[in-house]
Amino acid sequence: MPATSNATIAITECPERDFVISHTFDAPRDLVYRCWSDRAYMQHWWGPKGFTAPVCKLDLRSGGTMHYCLRSPEGHEMWGKFVYREVTAPLRLVFVDSFSNPEGDIIRHPMSPTWPLELLSTITFEDAGYGKTKLTVRWGVLPSATPEERKTFNEGHGSMTQGWTGTLDQLTAYLAEAQKK
């Protein structure tokens, strides 16, 4: 007769994984950093492919904010907000990223009610030699995220890759134009 066991199997969810995406731009680090730190530059490329940023208010300092509106090609608007934790020019930006309303209040993702209210974003700028810059975006959930928000974040890496790829493509195009001037 086979042995039996009364042991309980515990299933634990794997811990969240940060989302990380990198891209090397054919542009010097100071210019790539400026595109992330100067409203006049950021307004020209920020957002997924095809979106525009008709509103971009930027107060770049620790404790400062960026409040912006993204408009889709169909005219739908989405608002967002960064609250900067660290500004180390031209190496690194760290901020808490969230969706917001036009007044700047944090709101739920308009299409995903279980998306984390806030994400910790770290953007690094590395000199890649020969006038090139490696940019790395790291997104992670904050300790205040609920288990459901963590699960949604972990399962959303594919759509994050798509969104960030479009955004970085827009930055690539903008950098090419900016360097012609």
CA distances from 82 to 61, 74, 119, 134, 146 (A): 11, 25, 10, 22, 20
pLDDT at residue 147 greater than cutoff 90: yes
How far apart CA 43 and CA 57 sit, in angstroms, is 9
Could you report how far apart the first and last alpha carbons of the chain are, in Å? 83
Residue 14 reports pLDDT greater than 50: no
- Average model confidence (pLDDT) for the chain? 91
Query: Which pLDDT value is given to residue 33?
Result: 98
Closest CA relative to residue 178, chosen from 34, 8, 21:
34
Domain range summary for the chain, segments of one domain joined by +: 19-180
Reported pTM: 0.89
Question: Tokens in use for 100?
Answer: 């917001």
Which of 5-19, 30-44, 53-67 shows the lowest mean pLDDT across its residues? 5-19
pLDDT at 125: 98
Q: 181 pLDDT band (50/70/90 cuts)?
A: confident
Residue 26's nearest CA partner among 181, 179, 164 is 179
pLDDT in tens, 23-52: 999 999 999 999 999 999 999 999 988 899
Contact 105, 122 (CB under 8 A): no
| pLDDT over 90 (residue 1) | no
Q: Is residue 149 very low, low, confident or very high in pLDDT (cuts 50, 70, 90)?
A: very high
54: left (phi over 0), alpha (psi -120 to 50) or beta: alpha
Q: What are the two backbone dihedrals, phi and then psi, of residue 91, each rounded to the nearest 5 degrees?
A: -100, -35
For the segment 62-104, what is each residue's pLDDT rounded down to a tens digit? Answer: 999 999 999 999 999 999 999 999 999 999 999 999 999 999 9
d(CA 30, CA 38): 11
Q: Backbone phi, then psi, for 113, in 5-degree steps? A: -65, -15
- DSSP H helices, the chain, are 29-37, 39-42, 147-155, 157-180
Cα dihedral 131→132→138→139 (10° resolution): 90
Selecting from 3.30.530.20, 1.20.120.350, 3.30.200.20, 1.10.3720.10, what CATH number does the domain 19-180 have? 3.30.530.20
Is the predicted pLDDT of residue 146 greater than 60, yes or no? yes
- pLDDT over 70 (residue 15): no
What is the average per-residue pLDDT within 125-141? 97
Asked which of 5-9, 49-53, 54-58, 162-166 is least confident by mean pLDDT, the reply is 5-9
